[in-house]
Amino acid sequence: MLEATLSALAHLRAQEAGPLGQGLGAANAQACMHQAIRPLNEDSLRAAVAQAQPLPSSVAIVVPYGVFTTPIEWTAIAVAGGASVHLKAPQRDPELVRRLAEVFQKEGLPVTWSTDRTLPSVDAVLAFGSDESVADIQRDHPYTTVAPYGHKFSIALVTGNPTVAARCLAMDLVRYDGRGCMAPAAIFCDGDAMELGLQLSLALDHAQGQWPRGEVDAGLGPEWRRRLGLARVLGRAWSSSDWAVTVSPSAHFAPSALPRMANVHPVEDGKELARLLQPWSAWLSTLGTDGPDPQLPGVHRVCRLGWMQAPVIPRNHDGRSMLGGLHRENGED
């Protein structure tokens, strides 16, 4: 299965990503798809399969809308390990899932897809989505192993040079236009937050020329304007029609990312940040930082700035190995 999986991934990577990107700009979609497939090589897939053993015979993946490449790595690992995969595609835009299943099927690999909410009989389900939708899937499949991946958010902590940090963070903010659990919802800074904000504005303006922002949900407009208005009163804001940077007190931190908006909050140190984030520890995912790990409660992954939206393979995802723990012995509850 491994060679056929790698061949399918090569065919997918060669395709134009713009039509698959769920509203992302064409250049951004292409860069994101290449970044998602690049870590999937013979060595990394072998390691991921070994880490996940024993794998179930069949897996269903409930694919969320937003980060269009989500199912690629999970499908590749499962199929390379000998499992069949059914993809439940997002009804809003299933094109990537359709294309993914197509290239795997052409290699003779057992991947199917549908937009139907009713899943086929499988040994395990990977459920991505909101906390509510994931809970619904668990309730609807009481006798199936379900790995729930509900709402999570990520943050960054800058302790070093603002110019260098901004150039790296621009990549984290631009990839997928800030969608997904690994996008930095907020950027905390224990140094010169105003200088960091200025440098981020320059970096995002430059990135807009290389990877233009894609479609944005009009429903996000009120929150976009609220954060800008708050920062203009309590701190500082830089903005254009396609990106924005705000600097405001940490008391106004919001645990959700907006497309191409960098929300900077000053903090004294890692201890203050840990206290601030304690109520949100159950929903934390990734910390991107240019300094030492401050050991924040709830964080499952720590990486360098610029790599928040480009995770390695294999890895732990939300505290457990990818596809690990899905196998259930006969008769086990």
Each residue's pLDDT tens digit, 216-266: 999 999 999 999 999 999 999 999 999 999 999 999 999 999 999 999 999
How confident is the model at residue 15, as a pLDDT? 94
| DSSP assignment of 122-135 | -SEEEEES-HHHHH
Question: Measured between alpha carbons, how far is 309 from 174 in angstroms, rounded to an integer?
Answer: 9
Quote the CA–CA distance of 199 and 308 in Å, as a whole number: 19
Q: Residue 9 in contact with residue 37, Cβ under 8 Å?
A: yes
* Cis ω for the linkage preceding 314 (within 30 of 0): yes
CB neighbours (10 Å) of residue 190?
Answer: 18
Residues 203, 298: Cα–Cα separation, whole Å = 30
Residue 9: strand, helix, or coil:
helix
pLDDT the model gives residue 34:
97
Residue 176 has pLDDT above 50, yes or no: yes
Distance CA 266, CA 168 (A): 19
pLDDT band at 330 (very low <50, low <70, confident <90, very high): very low
Confidence category of residue 324, pLDDT binned at 50, 70, 90:
confident
User: Among 51, 54, 71, which Cα is nearest to 63's?
Assistant: 71
Q: Report residue 326's pLDDT band, with 50, 70 and 90 as the boundaries.
A: confident
Instruction: Give the tens place of pLDDT for each residue, 40-97.
Output: 999 999 999 999 999 999 999 999 999 999 999 999 999 999 999 999 999 999 999 9
Residue 321, pLDDT score:
86
What structural domains does the chain harbor?
A: 2-151 (3.40.605.10), 153-304 (3.40.309.10)
Model pLDDT, residue 333:
40
pLDDT band at 328 (very low <50, low <70, confident <90, very high): low
Percentage of the residues of the chain whose pLDDT score is greater than 90: 94
Q: Checking DSSP bridges between strand 284-289 and strand 301-304, what pairing results, if any?
A: parallel
Residue 244, helix vs strand vs coil = strand
Confidence (pLDDT) at 119:
95
- If pLDDT is split at 50, 70 and 90, which confidence band does 327 have? confident
Overall average pLDDT of the 108-133 stretch: 95
Give dist(CA 181, CA 318) in Å, integer: 10
Question: What mean pLDDT is predicted for residues 213-218?
Answer: 94
Check whether 194 has a pLDDT greater than 90: yes
As a whole number of angstroms, the distance between CA 176 and CA 165 comes to 19
* pLDDT score for 72: 98
> Is 331 a residue whose pLDDT tops 50?
no
Residue 211 has pLDDT above 70, yes or no: yes
Position 198 scores a pLDDT of 98
Indicate the average pLDDT of the chain: 95
CA distance 268 to 323: 39
Phi, psi of 34 (to 5 degrees): -60, -40
Q: Which two tokens stand for residue 223?
A: 């929150």
CB atoms within 10 A of CB 92: 11
The structure's pTM equals 0.93
Q: Residue 318 pLDDT > 90, yes or no?
A: no
User: Rounded to whole angstroms, how far apart are CA atoms 123 and 28?
Assistant: 36
Can you give the pLDDT at residue 329? 53
Around Cβ 140, how many Cβ atoms within 10 Å?
Answer: 14
